[in-house]
Amino acid sequence: MKVIARRPESLTEAKFHYCPGCTHGIIHRLIGECLDELNLRENAIGICPVGCAVLAYEYFNCDMLEAAHGRAPAIATAIKRLQPNNTVFTYQGDGDLASIGMGEIVHASLRGEKITVVFVNNAIYGMTGGQMAPTTLLGQVTTTSPYGRNKDFEGYPAKMAELLSQNEGSAYICRTAVNNPANVIKTKKAIKKALQIQQQGLGFTMVEILSTCPTNWGLSPLDALDWVEEKMIPYYPLGEFKVKED
Amino acid sequence: MPKVLMKGNEALAEGAIIAGCRGFFGYPITPSSEIAEYMARKLPKLNGVFVQAESELAAINMVYGGASTGQRVMTASSGPGISLKQEGISFIAEAELPCLIVNISRGGPGLGGIQPAQSDYFQATRGGGHGDYRTMVLAPSSVQEMMDFAVTGFELADKYRSPVMIMAEGTLGQMMEPIIMREPVTKLPEKPWAVTGCRGRKPNIINTLHLSAEYLEERNHHLQNKYTSMALNEKRAESFQTEDAELVVVAFGLMARIVKKAVMEARQQGVKVGMIRPITLWPFPDEAIRQAVNSAKRFLAVEISMGQMIEDIRLAVAGRAPVEFYGRIGITPNPEEIYQEIMRIAQREGY
């Protein structure tokens, strides 16, 4: 017998707590595979957010920290500066990164911190039960935008990849999705590239990943994947927004 | 060691470097900024890290990250900035990360002013942020102690895996005095819990989330046991001429030095007055107060606030003697003022 698929060593054996159809699990696995393939597990330090991925420190089989809401980039900054030989990554959701942590993420990027940010954008607050996120689409119904997000009252959804790509300190900014196998493969490539650019010391790296929240979107897992394709990707175009060559 | 003339903020920063601090994360605010400026000049030359953070929130979270690596790191600020740091301090306390937090204090509430005050006493000694925790608080009274307490602060932080705060009136940060330099600390404790990459060991996790109520309670008991141990072992106070004192003045920080002068003048007039200076504001040195109650008929709290430490004095005195108050805010009472207050009480009470 030959093993053709197995759990990456960079993931623990703990069972994910994520809802059925949620794509956090796929993204965790992709990070695990990248850490394995780059032989970084024993060198990596990860920082998880407040949000659905708050327990990610139980899932990644490397040194991990749990941050206060939005503050992961500040924590990552100090760790990377004091221990430049470590590979440092944060894992953040849209409320964490683009709302309460907007200051920390923008300045980590401006300073060109040599860290990798995995930004999971599912256009909603999952853990607290489906409230409006800074990335909630116009017209999208959430528990705190019950009549649909209205630009006149709630303003516009934040385009973080575009925003951070403007900063000189950003070395690699990419937006991907995990709604189909092709996009999953592209996402893995992007995460790997971001980690490699971090290793080269070129600056701040971020992969924004369009993800699903069937539970709070009120959709079946399959319909949720279609919703990413039909609603999210038109507003949040995929692709590389910044690639700094060394 | 050589004697040098130094500004309080710089002495504190140099003390931190002497203690082996190699990470400073801060945000400018008067009257503490010279600490950041000193670190910005010195740390890069020592292979250390200085980051001017985008906010106090970021700064304290950089301290969280920095302390997680096991290295000695610190931040410094003043009242309004320390308020912003409270979220992070709560996390640091629960994650049990040793670090030094400095409050070169000024008058509040709100933006307040930039003149010296001690009105952050409640915030410093009651935890300050959310949840059941304490930070040890050291209150220097001279530029020499600004340096010495930075070293002591890091030692205590490591000993208890806990954040330690130094609270000093803005005056102490801004004034210059000759001080005796110290030898650099060369031996730092091992920190096997630090996040350094898990090569050759199991992964380390720095975390403050405890979803099980039972485990959360267990964690709180663990922290409380640590605070009990601090209270048992780390209370520090200076007692001055309290043995026969009928009136005991209680003051901390630079204020205590001013009070001491007034006490000496009143003694020359035959008034039996003494002074207790709490050096640790938390744990509060209540035994020193309790001892004094045996002879003292009355206490006088002198603070640069509207009266905060007085509550701890009253708790220690436990109703056995009256505790009076003299305080100002943003204006440091001068020796003459305190002398007059002592004499007024002494004449009124016939001491």
Nearest Cβ partner of B197 from A54, A60, A63?
A63
| Residue B31 covered by a domain | yes
**Contact with chain B for residue A104, Cβ under 8 A:** yes
Q: Quick check: A65 contacting B, CB < 8 Å?
A: yes
Q: Is residue A209 part of a domain?
A: yes
CA distance B4 to B147: 12
Quick check: is A3 in a domain?
Answer: no
Residue A15 lies in a domain: no
* Statement to judge: residues B210 and B257 lie in one domain: no
Question: Which pLDDT does position A161 carry in this prediction?
Answer: 98
Split at pLDDT 50, 70, 90, the class of B335 is very high
Chain B neighbors of A75, CB-CB under 8 A: 61-62, 64-65, 68
Residue B239 has pLDDT above 80, yes or no: yes
Distance, CA of B340 to CA of B202 (rounded, Å): 65
Residues B222 and B332 in one domain: no
Which residues in A lie closer than 8 A to residue B206 (C-beta atoms)?
A: 64-66
For A70, the closest chain B residue by CA position comes to B58
CATH (domain of A87): 3.40.50.970
Same structural domain, B128 and B249: no
Q: Do B206 and A66 touch (CB under 8 A)?
A: yes
State whether residue A237 sits within 8 Å of chain B by CB.
no
Residue A102 lies in a domain: yes
- Parent domain of B256: 237-349
Q: Is residue B197 one of the residues assigned to a domain?
A: no
**B213 & B279 share domain:** no
Q: How many structural domains is chain B composed of?
A: 2
pLDDT tens, position by position, A156-204: 999 999 999 999 999 999 999 999 999 999 999 999 999 999 999 999 9
**Position A64 in a domain:** yes
- Tell whether B106 and B221 lie within a shared domain: yes
Query: For residue B27, what pLDDT band results from cuts at 50, 70 and 90?
Result: very high
A166 in any annotated domain: yes
For residue A1, name the pLDDT band (cuts at 50, 70, 90).
confident
- Shared domain check, B280 and B209: no
pLDDT at A246 exceeding the cut of 80: no
Tell me which residue range forms the domain holding A131.
24-243
CA distance A240 to A140: 26
Q: Are residues B218 and B321 in the same domain?
A: no
Q: Is A96 on the interface with B (CB under 8 A)?
A: no
Q: Which residues contact B83 (CB under 8 A, 6 or more apart)?
A: B123
Q: How far is Cα B250 from Cα B301, in angstroms, rounded to an integer?
A: 5
Contact with chain B for residue A76, Cβ under 8 A: yes
The pLDDT of residue B315 is 98
Rounded mean pLDDT of chain A?
97
B278 and B311 both lie in a single domain: yes
Separation in Å, CA of B24 to nearest CA in chain A: 9
With an 8 Å Cβ cutoff, are A78 and B25 in contact?
Answer: yes
B131 and B101: one domain?
A: yes
Q: Is residue B12 part of a domain?
A: yes
Contact list in B for residue A76 (CB cut-off 8 A) is: 65
Looking at the structure, do residues B298 and B324 belong to the same domain, yes or no? yes
Domain check: are B67 and B128 in the same one?
yes
Confidence band for B220, pLDDT divided at 50, 70 and 90: very high
**Is pLDDT at B155 greater than 80 in this prediction?**
yes
Residue B268 corresponds to which tokens in the numbers above? 């020359």
Instruction: Render pLDDT for A209-221 as a digit per residue (tens, 0 to 9).
Output: 999 999 999 999 9
Query: According to the model, what pLDDT value does residue B351 have?
Result: 87
Q: Using the beta-carbon criterion (under 8 Å), do A68 and B61 form an inter-chain contact? A: yes
Q: Does B209 touch chain A (CB under 8 A)?
A: yes
What average pLDDT does the segment A112-129 reach? 97
Q: Which residues of B256-290 are buried (b: 16+ CB within 10 A; e: fewer)?
A: bebbbebbebbeeeebbbbbbbbbbbbbbbbebbe
Q: Is residue B333 part of a domain?
A: yes
> Which residues pair with residue B138 across a beta bridge?
B166, B280
Residues B117 and B178 both lie in one domain:
yes
- State the complex-level ipTM: 0.97
The pLDDT-based confidence of B244 (bands split at 50, 70, 90) is: very high
Please report the pLDDT score of residue B330 as a whole number: 86
**Alpha-carbon dihedral sign for residues A158, A160, A161, A166:** positive
Q: Choose from A36, A82, A107 for mutation: most chain B CBs within 10 A.
A: A82
Q: Find all residues with CB under 8 Å of B194, minimum gap 6, and list them.
A: B68, B69, B70, B204
**Contact at CB, B61 and A54, closer than 8 angstroms:** no
- pTM score: 0.97
Looking up residue B156, the CATH number of its domain turns out to be 3.40.50.970
**What is the count of structural domains for chain A?**
1
Q: Is residue B69 part of a domain?
A: yes
